[in-house]
Chains A and B, each alone.
Chain A
């Protein structure tokens, strides 16, 4: 099928009047096209466009010896446990029999939905949220350059009035939950967060709660 048919050409040689057979100069390209589509199908099915995405995260260096850092004002502690359970308390931890005679800390339960953790973080981080929304508006109206926006939004997230989150897990929490919380914090403009170990009284409180 794939021979090249010659038409015209040698027609005039024999007796002048004899006409050449009219043959087309076409090649049958069917096999080639078949192959092309086969390859196309193969590459379409095997190729993966998505290079894996990644999340940059910095873990704390062990604290230098010396007095402990001053207490954080606007703090939230999120505690993860088995079965995707998520608890939190605001501010500092107070054991049931603390010396300052403060009311003991109570763990509240929340969820991974937009009504739960998302709302909680946004409410507590309203300073950074408002600042960044203002900055975004300025960028949109071209009053501010992107680089300035980046710098100022980092400043806003690091401001004293912004939320600081401590993320703690027990032995049974899954990695996915940790990433979900970190992700939610990124969405809610929380710039100051750290994943740390739980203290013994906190663990006792948690075990009490999930019992």
Chain B
């Protein structure tokens, strides 16, 4: 009986398709990835069945579990312009470097007088920054949040109009969106602290908001399924 021949060379496998796929996926993920900016607080928004995406151009107030308001603008240009206005109103000086850092900030929850110190801090130091009590929102004595919203709304609108007119001049399609107001609150926050923020907006005759929610996966899921 002849013995079964054992192949002398090492068993090899053609891995080309696998590698092709790996590269394809790498390319895909690299191109679709958008890095989230570090947020000063972790907020767990409640879930809803709403599947509307959040608009790109927003002026956002984040309310954390303890009810502290944090402020953020998505448009970097409007962000820096609003900082200029606020700096002159509250007599706080910012160095060009601090302004640049402010442009990369997603949101912040400190008083404007602490803001230069906050901007100088590294990302890790910012997490432990004291005092971080949220942007003051006292409509009578210290309406910093209102001023931030007001100034950034003006600036964001100005940027929007400028870009739209520029696109028109060049005869291009303009895809930009008008700035929208968004509120992102933690599910465990007391509604009364969110109500304060809403009141700040409605006092400025802003009545329409986007409340940020995560996609449904909770207790009312059967009801949501029924609808579909």
Contact = CB atoms under 8 A, between A and B. Distances in A.
B223 A114 contact: yes
Contacts of A48: 36
Contacts of B187: 174-176, 179
A61 interface: yes
A91 to B, nearest CB: 24
Contact of A112 (B191, B201, B205, B219): B219
Interface stretch (B26-34, B115-123, B130-138, B162-170): B26-34
Interface stretch (B15-23, B84-92, B141-149): B15-23
B15 A33 contact: yes
A36 interface: yes
B186 interface: yes
B109 interface: no
Contacts of A155: none
A147 interface: no
A173 B192 CA distance: 8
B189 A186 contact: no
A53 interface: yes
Contacts, number: 157
A53 B216 CA distance: 10
A86 interface: no
Given A43-B29, A53-B214, A59-B202, A80 B191 contact: yes
A114 B192 CA distance: 26
A54 B210 contact: yes
Q: Give the secondary structure class of A's interface.
A: mixed
Q: Give the secondary structure class of B's interface.
A: mixed
A52 B188 contact: no
Contact of B46 (A50, A171, A180): A180
Contacts of A50: 214-215
B210 to A, nearest CB: 4
B220 A39 contact: no
A13 to B, nearest CB: 30
Interface residues of A, number: 45
Interface in B23-74: 23, 25-26, 29-30, 32-33, 36, 45-55, 63
B48 A183 contact: yes
A39 B185 contact: no
A37 B23 CA distance: 8
Contact of B220 (A118, A172, A174): A118
Contacts of A23: none
Given A54-B213, A184-B223, A175 B29 contact: no
A180 B46 CA distance: 8
9 contacts: A39-B30, A53-B215, A56-B211, A60-B207, A61-B205, A174-B190, A175-B187, A175-B190, A178-B194
Interface of B: 15, 19, 22-23, 25-26, 29-30, 32-33, 36, 45-55, 63, 182, 184-195, 198, 201-202, 205, 207-216, 219-220, 222-224, 226-227
Given A54-B50, A184-B223, 6 more contacts: A43-B29, A53-B50, A175-B190, A175-B194, A183-B216, A187-B227
